[in-house]
Amino acid sequence: MNYKDLYMLKVLAKEKNITKTAEKLFVSQPSLTYKIKILEEELDTKILLRSKKGVKFTAEGSYLIKYAEKVLYDYQKLKDHLQNFNKFEEGIIRLGVSQNLARYELPDILQQFLDVYSKVQFNVVTSWSQSILKMIKKDEIAIAIIRGNIIWKHEKHLLNKEPICVIHKEELDINNLPNLPRINFKTDPGLQQTIDNWWKENFDEPPFVTMDIDNVETCIELVEKGLGYAIIPSIGLKKHRNIKQFSLHNVDGQPILRETWLLYRKEDLEYPIINKFIDFLKNNYTSIE
């Protein structure tokens, strides 16, 4: 059993399907099935139970998956340590970033840092903030930049706050929102809850939703065409100058803000290049346009 076998098991545990796993590993389905058979013979134990619904791991297989994940994790940590230890201008930075921030600001963040430290390699994952939070809790990434109310017991630094806005092509009366067509976009549960709470505080009837869009950029473009209004964080409006925006306020008149947080562990600061990137974010994030 080698590294490739362990990685195969990890992917198979995630996909729970032979065909999908083969696609992920860029091998044929018969080849993958043969590799599993050889591994079972080598270990003299049954790993998988196959059915039309996919695959299910035996008790021995489940134990093997946990072993594979631990070995792969320890191996990756070893590689990162050797790559980053005592190297001041090179190394690997494993970074997780929330989707909207990745869409609008991550390219500038990475470009500005790489202009100074050109030998650094970034391994970047983008997803919903809660998914990124789970990744850093499992120590799969070293640094997370995520948004919303975050519970994190290690190092946590507030990078930015931005207003959440009602946007529309023209001036409008906020009190008339329930009668106007609304364009929703798919977002993380935390932001959606914030928007829903504001609505409930201000209106006794549900919004008149006419469109459900899978991303904020398409949502903004539809608003620009005059097809309705939307409620979004202002991060997406930097390149859209012709949209009217009205910041949300709570019942006490305070603006409702979307927070951006930097998360990391103190022990990772022993790696010089990670330390430099964290300092860069703290000192330059709000100035990135």
What's domain 3-81's architecture? Orthogonal Bundle (1.10)
Is the pLDDT assigned to residue 287 strictly greater than 70? no
* Residue-range domain boundaries for the chain: 3-81, 95-159+262-287, 162-258
pLDDT tens-place string over residues 227-267: 999 999 998 887 787 899 999 999 899 999 999 999 999 98
Q: How many Å apart are CA 217 and CA 221, to the nearest integer? A: 6
Give pLDDT, residue 286.
Answer: 64
Residue 88 pLDDT level (bands cut at 50, 70, 90): low
Q: What is the mean pLDDT of the chain?
A: 89
The pLDDT value recorded for residue 87 is 60
The yes or no reply on domain 162-258 and CATH 1.20.1250.20 is no
Mean pLDDT, residues 118-126: 92
pLDDT of residue 165 exceeding 50 = yes
Phi, psi of 264 (to 5 degrees): -165, 175
95-159+262-287 and 162-258: same fold?
Answer: yes
Residue with tokens 């964080």: 233
pLDDT of the residue at 289: 41
pLDDT of residue 178: 95
Angle at 284 between CA 282 and CA 288, to 5 degrees: 135
Reported as a pLDDT band with limits 50, 70 and 90, residue 175 is very high
Residue of higher predicted confidence among 216 and 286 = 216
Q: CATH number of the domain at 95-159+262-287, please?
A: 3.40.190.10
The CB-side HSE value for 285 (13 A sphere, CA atoms) comes to: 20
| Per-residue pLDDT tens over the stretch 42-63 | 889 999 887 777 788 899 989 8
Reported as type and span, the H/E element at residue 184 is: strand 181-185
Q: Which two tokens stand for residue 273?
A: 């290049």
Report the percentage of the chain scoring pLDDT > 70.
95
